[in-house]
Amino acid sequence: MKATETKLEDCFVLEPTIFEDKRGYFFESFNQEKFNTLINKKVDFVQDNESFSSKGVLRGLHYQVGAHAQAKLVRVIKGKVLDVAVDIRANSKTFGQHVAVELSEDNKKQLFVPRGFAHGFIVLSETAIFSYKCDNLYNKESEGGIIYNDPKLNIDWQLPEDELLVSEKDVILPNLENARL
């Protein structure tokens, strides 16, 4: 497995070593010891989540604050998404900046989103199965979010606005300037 740090400190794209032959393929999707070595940090995941979504579904931008902040390791099992991480660490030199990475069943890339980041994705294929590990348990009282179309973030979601399927909850999220950080 190879880890490449993005322009946002502590946020990594991980690419597995894939073994293919006429029978199909095999790859190690996660190994705690290798993962911690690659990112040079100890992260212990305690919860796995999975979602199924149709084309145009945009989930995010979400985060957890305080003692319930979460780091995530995200990947796509089926389909293709544009995955976005936004640095919301107040003292970070990249505060308010984002990275966008295409994750798919074909490229098998993963994105490590550290604590102190907002996270979201949009489905680019007809459907997608999205999977992620969290290093802290979800806590409803600690959830926060940023509106997906905040003009200061200027995220290119790669689909026209009229094709986006956004939850009622996510449509009313504040912009970064007014978010609860």
Q: Where in the sequence numbering do the catalytic residues fall?
A: 62, 132
β-bridge partners, 15? 2
Quickly tell me which residue has 């073994």 as its tokens: 19
How many angstroms separate the CA atoms of 152 and 167, rounded? Answer: 21
How many angstroms separate the CA atoms of 26 and 141, rounded? Answer: 40
Task: With beta carbons less than 8 A apart as the criterion, state whether 170 and 67 touch.
Answer: no
Residue 61: cis peptide before it, omega within 30 degrees of 0: yes
Closest residue by Cα to residue 116 from 49, 59, 177, 70:
70
- Name residue 88's amino acid: I
Cα angle at 39 between 114 and 132, to 5 degrees? 50
**How many residues can be counted in the chain?**
181
